[in-house]
Amino acid sequence: MGMQVKKNRMIKTAYWMRAITRQTFGKKCWVLGLLVVASAANTAIITGTSIAHNSNAQFANVSHLPYANPNAPKGGVLSLSAIGTFDSINKWIDVGTPVTGTDYLFESLMTGSLSEAFVQYPLLADKVTYDPDDPSWVIYHINPKAYFWDGTPVTAQDVKASMDALLTKGVMSMRSYLSDVKETQVIDRQTVKFIFKSKDNQEIKLTVAQMPIWSKKSIDGYFDKVGLTPLMGSGAYKVGTIDAGRAITYVRDPNYWGAKPDAGVVVNVGRYNFDQIKYVYYQNPEVAFEGFKSGEYFFRAETKARTWSTGYNFPAVKAGMITKAQIANNNPVPMQAIVMNLRRPIFQDIRVRQAMTLAYDFEWLNKTMFYGQYERLQSFFHGSALAATGTPTPQELAVINPLLPDLEPIQRQAVLSDWQAPKSTGDGFNRDNLLKARELLLQAGFKYQNMKLYQPNGQPAKLEFLSTDAKNARIVLPFLRNLQRLGFDASFRQADVPQYLERTRRYDYDMIIDMFAQSLSPGAEQTYMWGSQAADEKGNQNSAGIKNKAIDAVIAKLIVSKNRDDIVLYSKVLDRLLRAGYYVVPTYGKHTDNVAYWKFYEHGPLPSNAIGIDYWWANKDKQAQVMQYLGK
C-alpha cells in the first residue's frame, strides 16, 4: 500500500542498559572502556565511551562496526526518489513541507549501531558520565575535535541551544518525547549536563543523546522559519544544489571532522562513501518507477506488490543492470493501519470501530491485489518478542487485572482473549463479517431508513477517507465499498501534500492511513503515539485520538522499566490494550523490505535491524558499465 506522507518520528534503534562491573569504595578502574568511580555512598559513577539500556554494548572495543567496510571506495552518487514536493529544509518544526534527507546535515551527541537494540556510541560526544542508580541526570563530554561546517567548534552552548529550541519551538511529538527534560546545564565549554524531572525514566539519558545539534548562532537566527536555508550542522554532508520542490543534492564535506582518523569516531569508519546523495521528487509512485527504469535515479525501495511481482521485466533488468533484493530485519513489522479519528463523535462507540474492522477484507486484497505477498498484522509489535500472543500469561494478568475497571466491556473482554483480526473467505463478498458489522451498528443505536444508515443522533452516517496518494484509492476503495454496503456515505478525498500535512496536524479528518513503526526497545515515544495528553496536542502523533487511562498507566510503567523482562511484559500488555480498543484497522505487512538498485551499488554484510545504506558504496567499474548502457 502506498503510504501517506510520513510524519517525522523519532524511531529508536532500540537500546538496552549496559551491565557494569563495579569497583569497591575509593578505587577506580577501566572496565571495557568504562571508568568506574565509586563514591563514599558505595554508588558507582561511570564515565565511558558507550551507554546502553537493559543490555550490553557489543561493539565498545572494535575498530569498525561488523557491517562496515573500512576499505570501501569513496565516490559516486547515491540517488533515490521521493514523492510530492517540499518547501522547507527544517523537519523539526510544525510548519512547512520538509525535504527528505536532512538527517545527513547534522549529528547527535551519540548514535547507535544498526545491529543492536538501545546502545549508544560516540559521535559528537566522546564520553558519557552517569549513575546507574540515579537516572535523574547524565553528563556528556563533547569531542574537542568536533566542529561545524564553518570551522567553529561544537560546544556545550550549542547543545543547550539545540535542546531548548526543540523543547520550546520544535515539532510537538519531539516536545512530548523530551518532556522529562528539566534543564540543560553548561558545565564548561565541552561538558553538558542534563537534569531530568523523573528519577524513574531509565532511557531518557540515552534519548537526549539522539537529538540533533546545531550551531547556537543559526538557531537564534532562523530555527522556527520555513525555508531552504539549513541550520548550521556538523554532518558529513552539506546542501549542494536545490531545485525547489523537485530535487535536492547533498555533497560530502571534504573537511568533515568525523571522518578523520584522529577523531576516533568508530561508527564512521567505512561510512558515508558517496560523494553526493540526491533525492529526485515525483508526483506519484508510478512516475517515480518510470524514472527508475530510465536511470533518473538508481536506488528504489519498492512498496507496491504488483510492481514487485510483475513490473521488473524491463530491458535493464534483462540486461543484468539491476539487482532485486528482499532484505530482512529484526525490528517489529510496522503497524500499517486505517486510523479512525476518535475526535469525531461517530467513532466514540467501540462497536462502530469493531464494525470498521469487520468491513476490511484482507484475504481478498492479498489474493487479488498483493499476489499473496503480505501477512495480516495481528500486533502493534508484529513478528517480535514484544507481540502479545495467545491469552494473557499470569504475569500479564497481574498487570491487566487492576486496569479492568477502566475498560469498557468489549475492550475488557478482548484484552483477556486471544485476539485475532477478523478473517474472511476471500471471495470478495465478506458477507459473514458485514452481517456481524451491521448487527454491531444496530446495537450502537444506528438506524436504517430508505437504505441509508443514520447515526443515533439522526445525522447521516457519513465518512471521508483522506489521502495524499492516489495509489491508496485502489487499496482503500474496496474497504469503502463495504462501508457503503453497510449504509455509510463513504468517500475518498485526495489532497496535495501541503494540504494533507496541514489537515493531519489539526486532526481534521475522519480516517487516514498511518504507519506506527516500533523498535525493539519501546519507551517514551509511546506517550506521543497513544497517550491521552498527545490526543489534544496539535501536531502530535496520536492520530487516532486515543484517551485511555489504562493505556496511559501501562506506558508510564514501560518508560520506567528497569530490565528487559519488564520491557517485554509491558509492551505485550500495551499491545493487548491497543488491539482491544479497536482504534485502528490493522492492514498488512511483512518482515522484509523489497529494494531494487542499479548494479554498481555494493555492500558488505548487512546489519540485522536496517538496510544500512550509509555503509554502501559505488563500484566505479560497474558504474561505467551502467553509464555506457544508459548512454550517459
On whether residue 385 sits in a domain, the answer given is: yes
pTM for this prediction = 0.82
Give the pLDDT confidence score for residue 499 in this predicted structure. 92
On whether residue 20 sits in a domain, the answer given is: no
On whether residue 495 sits in a domain, the answer given is: yes
Which three three-digit cell numbers place residue 10? 523519532
pLDDT digits 0-9 by tens, 450-468: 889 999 999 999 999 999 8
Give the span between the Cα atoms of 297 and 79, in whole angstroms. 5
On whether residue 440 sits in a domain, the answer given is: yes
Mean pLDDT of 430-455: 96
Give the span between the Cα atoms of 201 and 17, in whole angstroms. 12
Instruction: Give me the residue label for grid cell 569497583.
Output: 23
Between residues 501 and 218, which one has the greater pLDDT? 218
Pairing of strands 44-48, 125-131: antiparallel
Which of 216, 207, 208 shows the shortest CA–CA distance to 234? Answer: 216
Residues 370 and 402 in one domain: yes
Residues 585 and 611 in one domain: no
Residues 6+ apart with CB under 8 A from 560: 198, 200, 201, 202
Mean pLDDT of 508-520: 95
Instruction: State whether residue 515 is helix, strand or coil.
Output: strand
Give the span between the Cα atoms of 612 and 605, in whole angstroms. 10
Residues 41 and 130 in one domain: yes
Query: Treating both helix axes as pointing N-terminal to C-terminal, what angle do 564-580 and 549-559 enclose, rounded to 10 degrees?
Result: 160
- Domain containing 609 equals 237-329+592-630
- Lowest-pLDDT range of 36-50, 123-137, 475-489, 570-584: 36-50
Q: Is the Cα torsion angle 376, 377, 379, 383 positive or negative in sign?
A: positive
On whether residue 5 sits in a domain, the answer given is: no
pLDDT digits 0-9 by tens, 64-103: 999 999 999 999 999 999 999 999 999 999 999 999 999 9
Checking if the pLDDT of 10 tops 70, the result is no
* 33: confidence class by pLDDT, cuts 50, 70, 90: very low
Mean pLDDT of 42-47: 79
Quick check: 497 and 84 in contact, CB under 8 A? yes
On whether residue 74 sits in a domain, the answer given is: no
Which of 540, 80, 23, 564 shows the shortest CA–CA distance to 301? Answer: 80
Give the span between the Cα atoms of 394 and 401, in whole angstroms. 10
Name the domain count of the chain.
3
Give the pLDDT confidence score for residue 43 in this predicted structure. 60
Give the span between the Cα atoms of 285 and 266, in whole angstroms. 37
Residues 318 and 447 in one domain: no
The C-alpha R_g of the chain, in whole angstroms, comes to 25
- Lowest-pLDDT range of 7-11, 538-542, 554-558, 591-595: 7-11
pLDDT digits 0-9 by tens, 300-309: 999 888 899 9
- CATH number of 163's domain: 3.40.190.10
Residues 261 and 190 in one domain: no
pLDDT digits 0-9 by tens, 158-168: 999 999 999 99
Quick check: 64 and 604 in contact, CB under 8 A? no
Quick check: 178 and 167 in contact, CB under 8 A? yes
Instruction: State whether residue 434 is helix, strand or coil.
Output: helix
- CATH number of 407's domain: 3.10.105.10
On whether residue 4 sits in a domain, the answer given is: no
Give the span between the Cα atoms of 500 and 575, in whole angstroms. 29
pLDDT digits 0-9 by tens, 135-154: 999 999 999 999 999 999 99
Residues 391 and 404 in one domain: yes
On whether residue 270 sits in a domain, the answer given is: yes
Residues 248 and 368 in one domain: no
Give the span between the Cα atoms of 446 and 438, in whole angstroms. 9
Count of CB atoms situated within 10 Å of the CB of 446: 22
Query: Treating both helix axes as pointing N-terminal to C-terminal, what angle do 431-443 and 350-359 enclose, rounded to 10 degrees?
Result: 170
> Mean pLDDT score of the chain, rounded to an integer?
91
Quick check: 138 and 208 in contact, CB under 8 A? yes
